[in-house]
Structure 1
């Protein structure tokens, strides 16, 4: 009893010391002191400038005269002055539902609190309001935290007046301005022990080391992601005086990639007291002998060197560090570097006291297995080996680590049956394990019911394996602490009784592709705190019950796509959604009109592929700007004119209204969508001209207006005002006029489709300027396209890594190999030009062959004439080439046989002649692709060429292909040549014969005459 009493007195003493440190005290006496009236009025004025979403400040009332009892307020018990204003929001912490969150501005009424020593407004949102310069006048401040408050402007020099400051946190204010000498005020803060400027851009600050590291009392310094570099960091950093820096305990310089590119780490030797060092994301590849400089710090317990471009190939001494120099380490993170399997050997010999070990996404560990020796790290609490392509199973030794509370093995190639591993789990592990993540592996078999023995489990993530079987209530009977449940993308069946009430309250529920039964899962009614709910592709065929629409107050992501949910949606106009929520109800059977959504609180809404009908006039009922970034209503039967009220939705990045029944003109107000990057209005009944107002949408990456009845000319401003276009689809409209030369300015374009219109004139020579079609897939245009997809990822992706699977992915409908297909996941890889079904004339410009990365080229059904350029073979990536139904003449160039990827070729209905070139791909094509060219011959056509009928003209070596090539290339050797040669041969032959006959008769005559003479001579003798 006495020991408890002494501990209680000690606790009171510690509280009293800490409280006195910040200017207020605890007093057990019944104090009669109340707050000062002037300070009470100042607080009420401060409240008037705030928006209190959760009625957090309900105790701040003009009725209650004692402000010292208000939420977040502490007063000095002797004087009554307000000394503490402690209002940090809990909005930034996803693990708990928000109950505290403020918006508005920081009012200068706080100047009425001149005795304030403690001010914390972190994680509230002040919406880019100017930096509160007046805070520099609160000279008694000792603790100031404005982290993540979204304030902007320069840090005022008046901060130098806060000479009593002990702790200053201005981190995560991305829009704060820092100029060359913006940190000069720091030199006056001699009492400062804690400084955090993380995620504040300090790239322009000159000589920051002298201003920061020379603070005599500084023990904690965090400059993470401040854009520090060797170009703005002078060599003084390398010569920090030991007397001014030896007291530093905590140093975070992470995510400043260029900070140490050419400098070494010699300055570390002065930081002998350092216990925490984080240099993750700093390029240390050029630093010589870094292990001996880092690992020799005598007090170091926390070391993070992730993504530092380190390698065992360039720093082999890392593996030979003496155990005595590194055994004090408790936390080690070497993720994102290049190490081979030998890294494991060093770990087991040098870091025996490790508590937290992170080796995520290390190149070089693929095909390695998890060593059984991990079981020797008896102090290990966290083991993270995610993303290494490790093979094999989970060693049994891991199940004997009694201190292990977090095991992350996701994104590997581990395999086996979970029964084999979990049946060996020790009783101490079942009591300690809190986070079990094996997502994205190759585990098979059922999920053992013994998972329910892990009574302290908070995270269960087995997403994307090949697990099978049935999940029963017994699996979860003891998991009353479970917060994160991800069973998605397996072959699991969830079979619960209708009235089952789970023992847990989940924050993340991800059951995509699990079979939940045809009825809507009633057990969800008991869940009051979830932030993410994903029950997509779950086989549900039901209406949504009324109780479901009473969402938890902090819902950020709702996915129920790819089911057979039906009926009409509830009216969702009441403020049930948390700000920046994402909703995906696509690919269901919902019908009727679209009910009213409170779009002010929604960032992403996907109702595509349903049966909604009627107008979308609910968009016009908005009276304030929204934060909606993605709206997808495609593939429904919506109708009516497009509303002319897009002014309040100007934050849209994605707008997809394709494949509906909208009619009328494209409204001019769409030009107010200045942030839109992906715009789909195709396959409707829109008429009129393309509005000039769209030229203001200069962020556009996809402009899809195909399959409408738009008229007029193609606006020249498309090429001048939309410089980032990657996809332009104007297919199947009533557009006329010429091909605008300005389209040649679209250097990022990858898909250009203006087919099925009435475009006249010639294809401009400048088409070779479409340079994205001449670069490999690793191009700027592909990066721009990818950035558009990334830009519309909703904020919940920060807390739910699998959201990428459900985020909006752009698509396009293209004619491919004679049929219309919709491309989605591979869309960013396509490079296509389709100018077919127009009235184009003239020759095909030779410059088009400069677009060497083209995959499909369709110029069919025009009035093009002239020869097919002999350089057509330069388009070596071509898979589809359609030049049919034109007036092309001459021979097919031999170089076309170089197109080894070509599997769709149509040259029919032209005036081509000569022999079809011989090539592996060409002869395998259907003969119909060459019909309509009466002077064309050779395989695959049935009519043979003359050289095929006279094989004797093949050279004696049997080199048929050589003779064919020579005959095809020599355009002077025609059929007439062969006829003349044949007649000449016959005439010459018979001429020779006739002369020979005459000569024989003459010879015989002379021989006869000579014989007679010889006889006469003989007789005379």
Structure 2
């Protein structure tokens, strides 16, 4: 009986426990009212990525994606709908409206809607009523409007993230913030706080705040009233005030008084203009200090080296200067040397050598010194930085060899010493222990990479940029070992060899290849198969490759095969399907045939350069489909027919160069209306006829207009003064023009100072109008003198008449002026002699007359600049004298006054004494020397491709002139006194 009773009690207990479990399971199920609130919230969302596919009314909402309930009460406590933008195959996010139905979740402690898409939606004010919230994240949801005061009701909030909402603005001086007494994490980066004047006060009143980010908030600095330490943010560990352009150095007193335990401080890009305060040395807790991209000047205070816990110091892009061995690095204390892991001093003006004391930074992992003015050899002690992972020394003036001790840096992953003046031999020793090296930049030095023929490097590189390093004459075999390369540049490497067959598929991930400016020869293989790499960018220019152009992989975006010996048609374009091309440069080859008519497939193409080949036929109308093209070079071929009307669709064009062809018809008037961004228009040496289109005057951005060697007739329109880019100094527009040119520098050839020249680096500085060799008649419009930045004007070989405008002197930047072989008449304006930069002038073969204006400029030109005019044109440098020029007849005067007793006093018939003759001769010498001096001083304005002599040369010439002139005048004065001449 007892045993049965015990079994009964045990069974009853089990049943009770099971019943209680069922009750518990029932209790933790989602509450119906909260399930309905969530479903109403879903109705206001757009869920194209099916992020909320599990939200089904037939399922327990506690099991829905992004929902968590309390284990005890079953209440929804967490809604985490953070978007997954990295999801495959498509990102997962929701859009639409943030519905107030979430108010049905009154036990909610965690709400994260970050990275979803609610553009322009107002701030969800109802959130201020969810009083149990501890975590709120609405970052990067693109909500707009003002931040509500109701946020102050969330007194238990621990973390608040509103960052990334650039259309959100705070209008209430953050008054709501002071009620969040439990707040530890606050991120309002990119929120507009420009109207908040006392933000320092408000954040200082949050005693538990440890992490504050107010980056890119348009903050300004005000000096807050004194705060007691009791209310200050003494617990703040991380502070980010970066990218606030209106801060100033008055932020530092608040910073040093109110934040006593900072571990990380970021003040980068904040417009700070002063010296780095010594007080930083008192922030003993600092581990990371970022002062990048401000305007700090002077040196680095020695007190910073007292920060024994500092791991990272970043001072990039300031105006700091000084030598690193002047108390800056040479006396580094042991604690600093052993703690610092990141030192970034790049983009300043530090000078002098890198001291041997760099060895003191024994734990350094990143050393960035690029873009300074360091000189001298690299210290051998740099090889003692055994923990170094990244060494960036590029763009300095380091000289001498690369130390062999570099080979000791077994943890090194990035080595960049490009753009210095290093020289000497690089051998296997330099790379002996660099097992982890992934990126190697040694370009633009004078280094000679000399390895044994069978050397196998210990590393596998991702990036290898060795431009201008000698690697030839044979093709480097050791490259074959590198299987992970994504970028390879061995241009200017003095390689005179064929490219081995293994090279074209030795690394399947190669995205960028540059072999330019070598003497590589042979034919290229078919590069279209997938096994031969993706080759996003290929530059094989300036070699001796020959044969037809092969097919390329469809992933190629940039292709430069210029300056080789390729021949035949370019049918590969239509066959290869390289529709991803953005740049196609095939100039200076012997390519031939008609252009293919498949340009409609290249809508991403921005650069097309086919100049200097043997193409013929008409320009295909399908080129009008190149809606992205900006630079079109078709010059020096044999194209015929009219300029394609379809090109008016290419509204982004900046350069059109179709010179040296056989195109005909009238110059299209739509050029001035459809191509507003046109900067260079060269139609030279074709068969265009008709009048100068008035619509060309709408080209307000044009800087180079060349219509020469055509059959254009009529007059030069008065509206030519509307070419306003030729009257304005260069500004950011020039930068915008080159903004796209990562791999391509535009170029153009035109007649410059009587000779054909090719301009590249200074192309847009040369503002030029060339209408020569046409059938233009009438007068030169006076309005052309309003184009005051004009550098060259060529109107020669036309039928122009009238006077040279007296206002020609307004063109003060003019260097080349050619008005020859016209029918201009009248005198040469005196203002022409005022153009200081003028160093090429041709006014020959006109009907000009009168005296050539005297001045330092015009008399310096050869007489050929003035020949072929009317005989009445006179004066230097022409040999014919002008009427009224004074030349005393010394012979007749002497004959009339022959006598044995020559008097030294003056006579009525103009007797010239010996002393007067000597003094006059010296006067001529002094005057002649003065002219020579003036000419010498004006030589400094002669420009060759926009360059001038250095100021030091000018000063030496000036001093020489003044010294000799003073001596001459003293000698003249002494002779006058000697002979009693007054």
2:502 is aligned with 1:547: yes
Match of 2:271 in 1: 309
- Identify which range, 203-212 or 279-288, moves more after superposition: 203-212
**Aligned counterpart, 1:321:** 279
Q: Where do 1:395-406 residues align within 5 Å?
A: 395-406=355-366
Count of aligned residue pairs for this structure pair: 818
Aligned pair partner of 1:280 in 237, 242, 260 = 242
Counterparts of 1:128 and 1:913, CA distance in 2: 79
Partner in structure 2 of residue 254 of structure 1: 215
Choose the corresponding residue for 1:202, options 164, 167, 172: 167
Q: Name the residue aligned to 1:490.
A: 445
SS at match of 2:653: coil
Cα deviation for residue 341 of structure 1 reads 2.6
What secondary structure is seen at the aligned counterpart in 2 of 1:946?
Answer: coil
8 A Cα contact 1:930 1:941, kept in partner: yes
- TM-score w.r.t. the length of structure 1 is 0.72
Give the alignment of 1:600-615 within 5 angstroms. Answer: 601-615=555-569
Q: Does 1:393 align with 2:347?
A: no
Deviations 1:529-575 (A, max 9, x none): 22221111111222323332336454332211111222222322234
Residues in 2 aligned to 1:849 and 1:290: alpha-carbon distance in whole angstroms: 54
Is the 8 Å Cα contact of residues 250 and 275 (structure 1) preserved in structure 2? Answer: yes
Distance between the aligned counterparts of 1:512 and 1:870, measured in 2? 53
Structure 2 counterpart of 1:642, from 585, 595, 613: 595
How is 1:871-886 mapped onto 2 (pairs within 5 angstroms)? Answer: 871-886=807-822
User: Residue 557 of structure 2: SS of its match in structure 1?
Assistant: strand
1:835 and 1:458, CA in 2 relative to 1: closer, same or farther beyond 3 A? Answer: same
CA distance in 2, matches of 1:683, 1:439: 40
Separation in structure 2 between the aligned mates of residue 267 and residue 744 of structure 1, nearest angstrom: 64
Counterpart CA distance in 1 for 2:49 and 2:533 is 22
CA deviation map 1:372-418 (0-9, x unaligned):
44623322222222222222111222212212222222222222223
Pair 1:536 & 2:491 matched: yes
- Aligned pairs for 1:372-521 (under 5 A) are 372-373=329-330, 375-376=332-333, 377-378=336-337, 379-418=339-378, 421-422=379-380, 424=381, 429-521=384-476
1:764 counterpart residue number = 717
Deviations 1:486-536 (A, max 9, x none): 111111111112222111111221110001112222222221222221111
Q: 334, 359, 383: which one pairs with 2:291?
A: 334
Q: Does 1:945 find its partner at 2:902?
A: no
Once the two structures are overlaid, the 10-residue window that deviates more, 816-825 or 402-411, is 402-411
Structure 1 position 477, deviation (Å):
1.0
**1:901 CA displacement:** 0.9
Question: Contact 1:369 / 1:391 at 8 angstroms: preserved in 2?
Answer: no
1:422-479 CA-to-partner distances (Å, cap 9, x unmatched) read: 1x458xx432222222222222222222221122222221112222211111211111
* Structure 2 counterpart SS, 1:416: strand
User: For 1:867, what is the secondary structure of its paired residue?
Assistant: coil
Question: 2-side partners of 1:698 and 1:837: how far apart?
Answer: 30
Query: 3-state DSSP class of the match of 2:780?
Result: coil
SS in 2 for 1:390: strand
Structure 2 CA distance for partners of 1:341 and 1:181, relative to 1, 3 Å: closer
* Native 8 Å contact 2:249 2:273 kept in 1: no
Q: What does 1:113-152 align with in structure 2 at a 5 Å threshold?
A: 121-123=84-86
Structure 1 residues 848, 197: closer, same or farther in 2, change over 3 A?
A: same
1:815 deviation in Å?
1.1
CA shift in 2, pair 1:882/1:450, >3 Å: same
Identify the match of residue 789 of structure 1 among 708, 731, 738: 738
> In the alignment, is residue 841 of structure 1 matched against residue 777 of structure 2?
yes
Corresponding residue to 2:627 among 654, 657, 674:
674
**2:775 maps to 1:858:** no
CA distance in 1, matches of 2:616, 2:749: 20
The aligned residue for residue 967 of structure 1 is: none
Matches within 5 A, 1:873-912: 873-912=809-848
**Distance in 2, Cα, partners of 1:687 & 1:185:** 74
Deviation at residue 612 of structure 1 after TM alignment: 2.1
Instruction: Identify if the C-alpha distance between structure 1 residues 276 and 383 changes in structure 2 by more than 3 Å, giving closer, same or farther.
Output: same
1:619 equivalent to 2:619? Answer: no
Q: Which residue does the alignment assign to 1:97?
A: none
Which range moves more in the overlay, 338-347 or 138-147? Answer: 138-147
Going from structure 1 to structure 2, the CA distance change for 1:338 and 1:908 (only over 3 Å counts) comes to: same
CA distance in 2, matches of 1:560, 1:505: 20
Q: Which moved more, 1:844-853 or 1:519-528?
A: 519-528
Q: Aligned-pair distance for 1:886? A: 0.6
Residues 296/207 of structure 1: CA separation in 2 closer, same or farther (3 Å cut): closer
Query: CA 1:242–1:900 in 2, change beyond 3 Å: closer, same or farther?
Result: closer
Distance change in 2, residues 1:833/1:897 (3 Å): same
* SS state at 1:728 partner: strand
Q: Are residue 591 (structure 1) and residue 546 (structure 2) matched? A: yes
Q: Structure 1: which 5+ residue stretches go unaligned?
A: 1-47, 51-78, 86-113, 794-806, 962-1021
SS at match of 1:864: strand
> What is the DSSP-based 3-state SS (H/G/I as helix, E as strand, rest coil) of the residue aligned with 1:365?
strand
Quick one: structure 1 residues 948 and 49, their matched pair in 2 at CA, closer, same or farther if it must change by over 3 Å? same
Residue 948 of structure 1 and its aligned partner are, at CA, apart by 3.6
Label 1:673 to 1:295 Cα distance change in 2 as closer, same or farther (>3 A): farther
- 1:484–1:506 Cα contact (<8 Å) kept: yes
Alpha carbons 2:342, 2:366 under 8 Å: kept: yes
1:209-251 CA-partner distances (Å, limit 9, x unpaired): 6899988876555565x48462xx55585664767x5544334
3-state SS in 1 of match to 2:750: strand
8 Å Cα contact 2:349-2:372 kept in structure 1: yes
**1:180 corresponds to 2:142:** no
1:599-648: CA deviations, max 9, x gaps?
4x233222222222232233334779x44322222222222332332233
Which one of 668, 675, 686 corresponds to residue 715 of structure 1?
668
Q: Tell me how far 1:353 sits from its aligned partner.
A: 3.6
Aligned equivalents of 1:263 and 1:920: distance in 2? 59
SS in 2 for 1:842: strand
Aligned residue in 2 for 1:356: 312
Q: Residues 415 and 890 from structure 1, CA distance in 2 versus in 1: closer, same or farther, beyond 3 angstroms?
A: same
Question: For 1:772, what is the secondary structure of its paired residue?
Answer: helix
Matches of 2:634 and 2:733 in 1, distance apart? 21
**Whole-Å separation in 1 of the counterparts to 2:98 and 2:706:** 58
- Match of 1:808, SS state, is coil
Change (3 A) 1:293 1:242: closer
Matching of residues 96-115 of structure 1 within 5 Å: none
Alpha-carbon deviation of 1:792?
Answer: 4.3
Matched-pair contact (CA < 8 Å) for 1:688–1:709: yes
Distance in 1 separating the partners of 2:585 and 2:114: 37
Q: Contact between 2:278 and 2:304, CA under 8 Å: does it hold in 1?
A: no
Aligned counterparts of 2:331 and 2:775: Cα–Cα separation in 1: 72
Question: How big is the shift at 1:877?
Answer: 0.9
Residues 261, 715 of structure 1: alpha-carbon distance in 2 compared, 3 angstrom cutoff: farther
In 2, Cα distance between equivalents of 1:156 and 1:602: 45
Cα–Cα, structure 1 residues 890 and 366, in superposed 2: closer, same or farther, change >3 Å? Answer: farther
* Unaligned ranges ≥5, structure 2: 1-47, 51-60, 68-76, 891-909, 911-915, 928-982
3-state SS of 1:901 partner: coil
Q: Aligned equivalents of 1:328 and 1:720: distance in 2?
A: 64
